Amino acid sequence: MVTTSGSANDLRSELDSMTIAAIVWAVLILTWVLRANLGAPSSFTLLQHQRGLLYRRGKPVREVCAGQHRVWVGVEKILFIDIRPITVSFENRAVTLTDGATAMYGFSGTAEVDDAKKALYCAGNYNDMPAFVLLCCARLVLNSQNSIGLLAKHAAIVEEIMNRAKPRLSAAGFRLLTFRMTQLGLAAQARAEK
Amino acid sequence: MDYDAIGAVLFIAALVTSIFLALRRKARPLVYITDYQCGLRYVNGAFVDVVGPGNYRVDGTNKQITIMDLRPRLIVVERIFYQDAIQSHSVISIGAELSVSDAYLAATKLKDQTVDSIAIVRDALRSTVSRSIVSHSAEARISTAAEIQKAARTDLEKFGMTLSNLEITEAWSQPVEVRMTSGAN
């Protein structure tokens, strides 16, 4: 009886060690097969002035807001986007008017990210987009003015630049907050003022 | 050898293998490529292929992945002074978006994709506009912009870059009558 009971226990322990080893190997093989889909659990915290875009295996999945977010590092990634206003300021830039005179201008403005995904994809560095759009629009509008119109229609010029810039910025995921011409005059006038 | 011994050996082997794999995983850096990027894979310094979005572990010793950003790069080329087809003093400014069309060419032919491409765009711009006559109408601007874009694209193609959304932000040319008056004086 004692012998029978002992051999049954031995058989159980033999089976147990074999089963454990088999399970460990199975887990190892499974890990190896699924290695591309496995990541280490981690978490990221986005501050209130940040937005994020969650990527899984390189593809955007969803936009994430401020707070803590769990991700599988290696498979998932959160790209941070700062939504604080971007300030743009340019001074002493020259533009030729329709009558051949040269005008000097400068402006300042602010824009903020409205759509994080659009903003992230709009340019290699999304912070450059407001400056680019405002520069292009300001030059385009001023280039269509003559010397007399430039001085007489200051408010209308600002309005036109803003009207041109707003839809372009909106298409790129930005919202124009402020725009102000800080300098606008003919080059000769500017020299005399100096 | 009984089952117990075989089981123990297999268990230890599994543990050793997992430790080895964990160490190997740690030694190989992770490269994460998003959908607006692509990666150039090199093995022993030789280019192998272009890889798309995903996560890749590369062997630091002989394999390498260089990431290339495919998003547009915003450029402004301002106040280019030139003489047009009828020798009038003219000025032009443009804004455009540069982007990578062939990652391998862009990585191997250009040291700095943006700066080097701007020089090419500037050359294409100057050579195109100096052959034409500036007109201030909106239609003329659009057609001139298309011409410049086409010329720049042809030049940039050899370097794996492309140009899009080109707009003329400033165009002016000295009127013929003014030029003739100043010439007579």
> pLDDT of chain B along its 185 residues, tens only?
677 777 778 878 878 887 887 777 777 778 899 999 999 999 988 999 999 999 888 876 788 899 999 999 999 999 999 998 888 899 999 999 999 999 999 999 999 999 999 999 999 999 999 988 877 788 888 999 999 999 999 999 999 999 999 999 999 988 766 555 555 44
Residue that has been written with the tokens 């997992």 in this structure:
B18
CB spacing of B52 vs A24 below 8 angstroms:
no
pLDDT at A7: 57
Residue that has been written with the tokens 């401020």 in this structure:
A66
Q: Which amino acid is at A126?
A: Y
DSSP string, chain B: --HHHHHHHHHHHHHHHHHHHHHHHHHSPEEEE-TTEEEEEEETTEEEEEE-SEEEE--TTTEEEEEEE-S-EEEEEEEEEEE-TT--EEEEEEEEEEEES-HHHHHHH-SSHHHHHHHHHHHHHHHHHTTS----SHHHHHHHHHHHHHHHHHHHHTTTEEEEEEEEEEEEE--HHHHHHHHH-
Q: Are A182 and A113 within 8 A, CB to CB?
A: no
List of chain B residues whose C-beta atoms are within 8 Å of the C-beta of residue A139: 78, 93, 169-170
Task: Spell A35-58 as b/e; 16+ CB within 10 A means b.
Answer: eeeebeeeebebeeebbbbbbbbb
pLDDT at A119: 96
Report the alpha-carbon distance of residue A80 to residue A52 in Å, rounded. 4
Task: Spell B7-35 as b/e; 16+ CB within 10 A means b.
Answer: bbebbeebeeeeeeeeeeeeeeeebbbbe
Residue in chain A nearest B11 by alpha carbon: A21
- Tell the burial category of A167 from Cβ atoms under 10 Å away from its Cβ (0-12, 13-18, 19+): exposed
pLDDT band (50, 70, 90) for residue A15: low
B88 contacts chain A (CB < 8 A): no
B17 contacts chain A (CB < 8 A): yes
Q: Are A146 and A97 within 8 A, CB to CB?
A: yes
Report the alpha-carbon distance of residue B179 to residue A133 in Å, rounded. 34
The structure tokens listed for B81 are 């002074």
Flag the least confident range among A11-20, A86-95, A128-137: A11-20
List of chain B residues whose C-beta atoms are within 8 Å of the C-beta of residue A121: 36, 71
Residue in chain A nearest B56 by alpha carbon: A36
Q: Is the pLDDT of residue A3 over 50?
A: no
pLDDT band (50, 70, 90) for residue A12: low
**At B82, phi and psi to the nearest 5?**
-155, 175
CB spacing of B17 vs A140 below 8 angstroms:
no
pLDDT at A41: 81
List of chain B residues whose C-beta atoms are within 8 Å of the C-beta of residue A93: 78
Residue in chain A nearest B141 by alpha carbon: A140
CB spacing of A17 vs B8 below 8 angstroms:
yes
Return the residue in A10, A17, A35, A78 with the most chain B beta carbons within 10 A, the one to mutate for interface testing.
A17
Query: Of B55, B78, B172, which has the smallest distance from its Cβ to A74's Cβ?
Result: B55
Q: What's this model's pTM, rounded to 2 decimal places?
A: 0.83
Query: Of A28, A75, A97, which has the smallest distance from its Cβ to B55's Cβ?
Result: A75
CB spacing of B170 vs A31 below 8 angstroms:
no
List of chain B residues whose C-beta atoms are within 8 Å of the C-beta of residue A120: 36
Q: Is the pLDDT of residue A189 over 90?
A: no
pLDDT at A1: 40
pLDDT at A2: 41
Domain residues of chain B, as ranges? 3-69, 73-179
DSSP letter, residue A85: P
CATH architecture of B73-179: 2-Layer Sandwich (3.30)
DSSP letter, residue A127: G
pLDDT at B41: 92
Q: How close does chain A come to B170, measured CA to CA in Å? A: 6
Residue in chain B nearest A132 by alpha carbon: B74
List B residues 120-149 in contact with A (Cβ-Cβ < 8 A): 136
List of chain B residues whose C-beta atoms are within 8 Å of the C-beta of residue A24: 10-11, 14-15, 18
Q: In chain A, what percentage of residues exceed pLDDT 70?
A: 87
Higher pLDDT, A51 or A28: A51
